[in-house]
Amino acid sequence: MKENCTKSKTELSKIFKTNLENGLEVEEAEKRLLENGPNEIPKGKVTHWLVIFLKTLMEPLQLILLAAAIISVFTSLVASNWEVSADNFIDFIVIICIVIIDGVLETVQEVKARKSMDSLKSFTKPRAVVIRSGHQQEIDASDIVVGDLIVLEAGKYVPADLIMIETSELMVDESILSGESVPVFKTSNPLEKETSILGDMKNAAFMSTFTTAGRGIGMVVRTGSQTEIGKIAESINENDESKTPLEKKLIKFSYWIALLAFLIGIFVFLTMFLKGNPQFWPSYLMVSITLAIGVIPECLAAVVSISLSFSTKRMARENVIVKKLASVETLGSVNVICTDKTGTLTVNRMTIKKIMHDNKILSSEEYLKLKKNEQKKLFLQSLVLPNDSVTEGKERIGDPTELALVDFAELAGIDEQEARDKWERIDEIPFDSERKLMTTVNKIDGKPTTFTKGAVDEILKVCDRIYINNEIRKITQADIEIILKQADELSQQALRILGFAYHQNYKNSNDKSNLEKKLIYVGSVAMIDPVRQSAIDAVREAHDAGINVVMITGDHATTALAIARDLNLAFSEYEVMSSDRLELMSDLELSRIITQIKVFARVNPEHKVRIVKALQEKGNIVSMTGDGVNDAPSLSRADIGVAMGITGTDVAKQASDVILTDDNFKTIIKGVGEGRNVYQKIRRAITFVISVNIANVLAIFILSLINDISPVEATNILWINLIVESVLAITIGMGPNDQSLMKIKPKLGKNSLFEGVWKPMFKICAFSTAAAIAGFYMGMSFTPSELYADRYSSWYELLKSTDATLQERVAVMTFGRTAMFLVMTISPCFYVNFIKLSNWKVSKKIQFNPNLPLVFASIFAACLNIIVLFIPGLNSVVLLLNPISSWNSNNWYLILASIGIAIIPGILILSTDAIVFFTYHWLPKSWERNRRIATEFVEKDKIKTVKKVNSVVEKDKKIN
């Protein structure tokens, strides 16, 4: 593209074999269409839902669950001496159902998100006006070929990449491609030298940009995938889908679980075989397989998916659409947000902020409060009459600068369409880039009145009088110096200045040059695409959460810095880098200073990708927010891409992982908070499930070593894993969010899934193991003597005897098994409510924010475990617990004693946490206290510095 920008239209005509007057012949155009294909943007890859579902089944955690299902069948067959029955497959069916449900959840979520994206179809505009065989005709944009002559007019989209060969005051909005909010004036003059910066290609128009004013004819030099937008879309499609941090951690976790289960099985079998009686090897094999199954968290995949699913629903209510479940956690891990400026941090609408009136600078609010008089009336008329923009409802057509003038006039009570009907335009001189002026003549109260707008310095050159303090007098050099100084001060704040003048000496003639002579200066306006107030709050919240915000924009450095100051994002030019400097830097040089730069200005799409990559190489988890086509490559390259739902282009939405339906930058901070909370809830669930499993395995292993037989059956373990743990772990993700998590700074680099959970896991394992063993021996004390009195003096002697049969051992342990079962199932129902991984160091106040779904689930699970004791068949046949007939007035309180032992781990966990909390906040060690004081001083110093900088900026604004 850049090489064509330096060619004259004659050279282009020869290169593309096109007649500059008549365009291509119809036959030639049809031939080129067949050779080169239609003018369409490459579509994104579409994966069939069945493939998505099968991929979910091939994930490591799911494969482990499938292996557990097969092992459960094998275990059941061994236990039944290989007698096949329906009971052998109950555990298998339950596990398979969990695997399928988890896969369906992921598949449905991804398919629903894909359907909400209409690929890129709507982005290619359907019709275009071309010149072929000497005639203008309207055709499908997909039928355009290289060499076609395209006619552009205000309100039309550019259907392909063009080099302009004729222009008449042509203005094109390229914000979706370049990020620059102000429309670009296009010329038909070739560039003197090649440039790679799209914004500097003044004689080129790019596919899917928008014509805001004027008229032009351009020659098509690129179509379809060869256009700038096509290249971007194609690069997105070629990108491999990377795993999210949570997916990577779960995959790694799955491998460790698989290895651990295998090693436990081998270790337990060998230990018991070498220590015990070799003839009991089938019993030892059952124990080892039972413990191997026991360590595998069958419910974990479902817990993760359901927790993420609940979070995505909550986020949808907060205007955050998540295209992939695991992206929620990635959003919570973000510590750098790279954001586009236009439409993301700003409102994407030029707005008048200052008025230069009576040689003073007034805010727009102050000016609107001024009394209406002739001077104010003429000024407001000058805003809407030399103006071609139109607003009607939500329809806004025209140059953003002119639209800003119309919007301000409407605030003052003047509708532009009514004004133009009332004060008819009878003559005009269109805007010219060399004059930098636009003039119209309108009938005001029957008198022709000339209104002129343009650059302030040019306006002052054609003015000999000034309307000031409600009177017209000769303009002086002092007036001119004051006005130019004010304009310069406002320009340094990145405000765009327009001046206005008028006169009533109109004479109808062919020579219109007199219209712009001896004018009366009436005032000026200063406008900018203003910052969203919500964006200011969001940047502050991001900084509080330890998230670095980097603004990346196509605007000039001065404009970008002004916006960054308003956002409290950057305060000096040393924190701003322009693309020309960026292009001269090597990757190593960029890496050294990347963390010091808060604003990147005048960037191209490839620059954005390079910036994101440099940040990632520093160990950052990077989010990129944006709405334009120019943002798409970096959205795709970032760890989490966030697109705007309203103003966002389809290309940006396709490349992103998350879409904000309200285009509010603050909403992403809510998403970060939700992401941090769901990650914390998943870690809590993992801590709970793994701790319970390990505690059970330890208790069973210890008792098996002592007694040469497992105290519980495989069905008992599966009941705990699939019923108790699942019900409790799933409801962990339904609890309220912990707002204190947004006060924690995310850690750079690798952040282990188990970081900070070892202490809670150790406490749970230690207390639960001890309670389970205590429960077993307490239950064994209730064993009736008739179960062993025939041959042994005690149940302990029976278990240690090598003559006792397997059936005798199983029968004598019924009461111990029942008590241990109650302790192992009820104990988690109590202490699951006290597993806290939240930021308890933030405040001395104890935050009581109960998870009601978890409380109700705990009560339900505890009651279910007691009720199961009295369900015939399930109690004695499936779970091998005490039958109903065994309960009497002498042993019924075994149930109460078991419940009492089950509560002890929860009380101990709560007590130790209370001691740690009290010690940290009220009895800190000297070194810890000194570190805390130093940290507080540093934070206070940062706040003071920001306040001082803000104060200086505010003073400068007031002075200006």
DSSP 434-449: TTTEEEEEEEETTEEE
| Beta strands 447-454 and 336-340, pairing class | unpaired
Three-state secondary-structure class, residue 677: helix
- Interval 633-646 mean pLDDT: 82
494 has pLDDT over 70: yes
894 has pLDDT over 70: yes
655-702 tens-digit pLDDT: 788 888 877 788 888 888 888 888 888 888 888 988 898 898 899 888
125 has pLDDT over 70: no
HSE-up (13 A, CA, CB side) for residue 712? 34
123 has pLDDT over 50: no
Predicted confidence at residue 47, as pLDDT, reads 72
Let me know: does 501 contact 475? Beta carbons within 8 Å. no
282 has pLDDT over 90: no
Burial class of residue 639, CB neighbours in 10 A (0-12, 13-18, 19+): buried
285-330 tens-digit pLDDT: 667 766 776 677 766 666 776 777 777 778 878 888 887 766 777 7
Burial 583-612 (b: 16+ CB within 10 A, else e): eebeeeebeeebeebbbbbbbbbbbbbbbb
- Interval 83-112 mean pLDDT: 70
Predicted confidence at residue 122, as pLDDT, reads 41
482 has pLDDT over 60: yes
Three-state secondary-structure class, residue 648: coil
**The one-letter amino acid at 588:** L
User: Among candidates 642, 636, 646, which has minimal Cα distance to 670?
Assistant: 642
Residues 6+ apart with CB under 8 A from 452: 382, 386, 437, 438, 439, 459, 462, 500, 501, 502, 515, 516, 519
More confidently predicted of 882 and 180: 882
849 phi and psi, to 5 degrees?
Answer: -135, 80
User: Among candidates 246, 242, 103, 302, which has minimal Cα distance to 683?
Assistant: 246
Let me know: does 701 contact 766? Beta carbons within 8 Å. no
Q: What is the mean pLDDT of the chain?
A: 81
Predicted confidence at residue 454, as pLDDT, reads 92
Catalytic member of 91, 161, 340, 555: 340
Question: How far apart (Å, rounded) are the C-alpha atoms in residues 713 and 814?
Answer: 11
118 has pLDDT over 50: no
Distance, first Cα to last Cα, the chain: 43
Question: How far apart (Å, rounded) are the C-alpha atoms in residues 154 and 170?
Answer: 8
Residues 6+ apart with CB under 8 A from 586: none
The percent of residues above 90 in pLDDT, for the chain, comes to 22
Predicted confidence at residue 336, as pLDDT, reads 93
User: Among candidates 391, 399, 384, which has minimal Cα distance to 170?
Assistant: 399
888 has pLDDT over 70: yes
- Interval 48-62 mean pLDDT: 75
More confidently predicted of 54 and 845: 54
Q: What is the largest CA-CA distance in the chain?
A: 131
Task: Give the range among 207-221, 279-293, 434-448 with minimum mean pLDDT.
Answer: 279-293
State yes or no: is 340 an active-site residue.
yes
**Is pTM beyond 0.75 here?**
no
Residue 943 — very low, low, confident or very high, per pLDDT cuts 50/70/90? low
Task: Give the range among 6-20, 41-55, 148-162, 850-864 with minimum mean pLDDT.
Answer: 41-55
Please state, as a whole number, how many other Cβ atoms lie within 10 Å of the Cβ of residue 793. Answer: 10
| Beta strands 548-552 and 336-340, pairing class | parallel
**Residue keyed to tokens 């974990």:** 300
- CA distances 72 to 289, 690, 713, Å, are 8, 19, 12
591 has pLDDT over 80: yes
Angle, vertex CA 528, rays to CA 523 and CA 531, nearest 5: 140
Burial 207-246 (b: 16+ CB within 10 A, else e): bbbbbbbbebbbbbbbbbbbbbbbbbbebbbeeeeeebbb
User: Among candidates 168, 173, 202, 629, which has minimal Cα distance to 400?
Assistant: 173
Task: Give the range among 22-26, 81-85, 627-631 with minimum mean pLDDT.
Answer: 627-631
631 has pLDDT over 80: no
User: Among candidates 651, 666, 577, 642, which has minimal Cα distance to 614?
Assistant: 577
Task: Give the range among 36-50, 594-608, 813-827 with minimum mean pLDDT.
Answer: 36-50
850 has pLDDT over 60: yes
User: Among candidates 160, 155, 127, which has minimal Cα distance to 214?
Assistant: 155
119 has pLDDT over 50: no
Task: Give the range among 481-495, 717-731, 924-938 with minimum mean pLDDT.
Answer: 924-938
Predicted confidence at residue 844, as pLDDT, reads 66
User: Among candidates 100, 68, 75, which has minimal Cα distance to 721?
Assistant: 68
- Interval 841-868 mean pLDDT: 83
- Interval 846-872 mean pLDDT: 87
Joined together, the tokens standing for residue 692 give 């319970």
- CA distances 457 to 354, 429, 453, 463, 525, Å, are 17, 18, 11, 10, 13
DSSP string covering 320-348, please? EEESSTTHHHHHHH--EEEEESTTTTB-S
520 has pLDDT over 90: yes
- Interval 788-794 mean pLDDT: 82
Question: How far apart (Å, rounded) are the C-alpha atoms in residues 631 and 176?
Answer: 8
836 has pLDDT over 80: no
User: Among candidates 291, 429, 194, 221, which has minimal Cα distance to 711?
Assistant: 291
120 has pLDDT over 60: no
Task: Give the range among 241-255, 267-281, 374-388 with minimum mean pLDDT.
Answer: 241-255
Joined together, the tokens standing for residue 542 give 């991001």
- Interval 119-128 mean pLDDT: 48
- CA distances 797 to 788, 811, 812, Å, are 9, 14, 11
Residue 877 — very low, low, confident or very high, per pLDDT cuts 50/70/90? confident
501 has pLDDT over 50: yes
Predicted confidence at residue 753, as pLDDT, reads 67
Joined together, the tokens standing for residue 722 give 């699939």
